[in-house]
Amino acid sequence: MENKLLTLKEAAQISGYAPDYIGQLIRKGKLPGKQVYTNFAWMVGEQDLKNFMTGVRQQQEKKISQKNKASNRLLYLLFSFGLLLIFAIYLLAARIR
């Protein structure tokens, strides 16, 4: 498949990122890109941009999944503590009678 080159402005329209941010990603080596027009303007491959966006989306989903697992563990601990507290109150009430 051909990896059509996009200007940063075109890449921004596709990705929703600002053109400057895309240029920053290229300069940091996180997104493949090429300097054109006598090393002045950056361009990025359309497929490279889509691959990057897919990777970012997967990382975000992984983080959300990890946060959900942590939240579920916390809820389980709070629920268990609540049951333990109720049981302790029940035993104390039974002892008072």
Tally of structural domains, the chain: 1
pLDDT, tens digit (0-9, with 9 covering 90-100), for 50-87:
999 998 888 888 888 888 888 888 888 889 889 999 98
Cβ-proximal residues to 32 (8 Å cutoff; 6+ apart), any chain: 26, 44, 45, 48
Residue range(s) defining the domain that contains residue 56: 5-96
pLDDT, tens digit (0-9, with 9 covering 90-100), for 14-64:
999 999 999 999 999 999 998 887 666 888 999 999 999 998 888 888 888
Among candidate residues 5, 36, 43, the one with its CA nearest the CA of residue 22 = 43
Tokens of 18: 């600002």
CATH number reported for the structural domain that contains residue 81 in this entry: 1.10.1660
